[in-house]
Amino acid sequence: MSTSDIVPWPAADAARYRAAGHWRDRALGHWMWHWAGRFGDRVALVDGDLRLTLPAAGRTRGRVRGVAPRGRPPRG
């Protein structure tokens, strides 16, 4: 999928969401690390018997996707 495949939100709605603080123009990966720092070892993801804490989910995402938050190398 490329960015040309994405249908944008109507400009007025996007502006309203940003003004209300709902959209902060940050990638989901940013929030995973932010929440990990804020909430520590709370469980973030559950898949059957598998439980991942926020830091573990962030590290797994980095290994699986090869993507890390800006300034951090992927772990793996």
The whole-number pLDDT of residue 12 equals 95
CB 68 within 8 A of CB 55: no
The whole-number pLDDT of residue 67 equals 46
The whole-number pLDDT of residue 56 equals 80
44 vs 36: CA distance, rounded Å: 9
pLDDT in tens, the chain (76 residues): 566 777 788 999 999 999 999 888 887 778 877 888 888 888 888 888 888 887 887 676 555 444 445 555 555 5
Neighbours of 15 (CB within 10 A): 12
Region for 17 from its dihedrals, namely left if φ exceeds 0, alpha if ψ lies in -120 to 50, beta otherwise: alpha
